[in-house]
Chain A
Amino acid sequence: MSVPPESRAAGAALRLDAVSAGYGPLVILDRLSMALRPDEILLVLGANGSGKSTLLKTVMGLTTITGGILHKDDVDITRWATHRRAAGGIGYVPQNNNVFAGLSVRDNLGMGAYLQPAKRAAAQEAVLDLFPRLRERLGATAGALSGGERRMLSIALTLMADPAVLLLDEPSSDLAPAMIDLVFAAIQRIRRERRIPVLLVEQNVARGLAIADRVVVLVRGSVAADMPAAAVQRDHLHALFLHGSVGAAPAIQAQRSVP
């Protein structure tokens, strides 16, 4: 099995070595290898069904891993349960069902503080500073928030635990452009101030590229391309999305994880 040089990089925040995973008998990730470097925003692109969300769920322990090894800071966490991964510093913001709709904003943040109860007040101040809109809505029920406020709360909730790595699943989905601006500015600020890497799954390619340092493209559950965000050209992405290969775009240094 050939492991791409990217995955061998020492000191990666997250590293997947030939990971296969899915839901029961349905395997979505196919011997996928990649690494998340400390302090970077890594954008994951791919067509519907290419395994982007499954990648994040696999890192969080919400899928069945059938092969390969998953490392966080060089610790093998492949068999860890979800709650243990959270305690180990992985923060995950799902695309849907990401807040407790029946609880108030304040109580949602309280739930997020379970791992760091002593730092709750300071953590809450920090996330309210990041999302001032939530301060006005502290007493409101999360189910009554607008889509944008809800997205902010979902990110804030995860940040309450002071994660060392942040996984974001489609933070722009179903949001108005002005709200996307706010959320993406917050993501940049999180990376800058907390100095934590972000694994970002995003359908909105232009928005994602604007803040990402590096891009991986998934095709049928494997990494089809891995490149700096600045080097991405639109027609290359078209070739990857539409044809599932880089044959039409030889300029890209493609790295398939499958030998």
Chain B
Amino acid sequence: MLDFLVFAVTMIAIWSVVALSLDLQFGLCGLVNFGQILPFALGAYGPAISAAHGGSISAGLALGLAMAAVGGVLVLAPVGRLSQDYWALVSLGASEIFRLLMVNVTPIAGGQDGTAVARVSNPLAALGLALGLLLAMLLLARRIDRSPLGRLMRVLREDDLLVATLGRNPFRVQALVTVVAWLMAALAGALYAHVVGFVAPSSFSVAETFIVWTALILGGAGSLLGAVVGTAFVQFISVSTRFLAAWSGLPFDLVANLRLGIFGVVLVLVFLLRREGLVPERKVRVDAVGP
């Protein structure tokens, strides 16, 4: 039981980093990205590709980060204005293209069956790494949030065209935020690979992106702590449905699907009762001209 709790908290910390990276894009900057699982997957596939071809752990980590950075630029390049709806669709499409590529091209990293990677065998060490990463990313996000860049991001969220008419290039800021957020998610992905010890395409489906969205909206978009609280809540529901299956004797598949239904109900309730989420965004003063 204790082992399981340690594992659950480790997963909460890792997915919190992904939620945090989405919060930077959507919560602070207003960019709707329906493919945030992609940088997480790229980060995880760095170690997987490295392991499948006899590379080292550090080579895998570097590969994951590089793929996320290059992937970010590649996906960004054809999109001129990130605040428009099609950025959401481009990112969604890109994440599925990558997943299907990994399913179908077996030599890259084992195809559908996936690849084993070096596992952090001590659960407490894994927990420490995950909490350390979360803390570092929280501090980074907080630093961005309170900097002139963070203030500019909030203003872009309000009206990017008005910002452009005042002489700033919205795309440059939005692209910068996207690349930083993608690197964050890639770090989480790489750690995920080494904690689970196994990387397969099925872990990176579109549904995962929307679970992260659920966590963010529930916790409170625009609030950094909200991303963590929302993830904890969503992971708690996820985990408890597993126990519910064992306890009630219902089939596991049924309960697992019920879990997605619960997320849907939670989202509806949040929109009806508490739109700002569990931890509302703090009110900020934007009294600086910025970078």
Contact = CB atoms under 8 A, between A and B. Distances in A.
Interface of A: 60, 62, 81-84, 86-87, 92, 94, 97-104, 106-107, 110-115, 117, 120, 157-158, 161
19 contacts: A62-B165, A81-B164, A83-B164, A83-B167, A86-B166, A94-B165, A98-B162, A100-B159, A100-B162, A102-B158, A104-B287, A111-B289, A113-B289, A114-B166, A114-B290, A115-B167, A117-B289, A158-B165, A161-B166
B289 A114 contact: yes
Interface residues of B, number: 20
Interface in B130-184: 154-155, 158-159, 161-170
Given A110-B286, A114-B290, A117-B289, A62 B166 contact: no
**In the complex, the 9 A-B pairs of residues with the closest C-beta atoms, listed nearest first:** A86-B167, A82-B164, A115-B167, A107-B286, A83-B169, A83-B164, A87-B167, A117-B289, A92-B165
A100 B156 CA distance: 10
A147 B154 CA distance: 24
Contacts of B159: 97, 100
Nearest to B171: A81
Interface of B: 154-155, 158-159, 161-170, 285-290
A117 B148 CA distance: 13
A134 to B, nearest CB: 16
A92 B168 CA distance: 14
Nearest to B289: A117
Contact of B286 (A83, A103, A158): A103
A107 B287 contact: yes
Contacts of A82: 161, 164-165
Given A100-B158, A100-B159, A107-B287, A81 B169 contact: yes
Contacts of A114: 166-168, 289-290
A83 B165 CA distance: 6
A111 B155 contact: yes
Contacts of B285: 104, 107
A110 B166 contact: no
A87 B163 CA distance: 12
A161 B288 CA distance: 15
B21 to A, nearest CB: 23
Contacts of A81: 164, 169
Nearest to A97: B159
Contacts of A97: 159, 161-162
B271 to A, nearest CB: 20
Contacts of A98: 162
Given A81-B169, A100-B158, A110 B164 contact: no
Nearest to B151: A107
Contacts of B170: 83
Contacts of A100: 155, 158-159, 162
Contacts of B163: 111
A206 B163 CA distance: 33
A165 to B, nearest CB: 13
B287 A161 contact: no
Nearest to A92: B165
B28 to A, nearest CB: 13
Contacts of A102: 154, 158
Given A103-B286, A114-B166, A158-B166, 15 more contacts: A60-B165, A81-B164, A82-B161, A83-B165, A86-B166, A94-B162, A99-B162, A100-B162, A101-B158, A103-B155, A103-B158, A106-B287, A110-B287, A111-B166, A115-B167
Interface centre among A98, A103, A111 (most CB of B within 10 A): A111
B238 to A, nearest CB: 34
Interface centre among B163, B165, B287 (most CB of A within 10 A): B165
Given A100-B155, A103-B155, A115 B165 contact: no
A87 B169 CA distance: 10
Given A100-B155, A107-B287, A83 B168 contact: yes
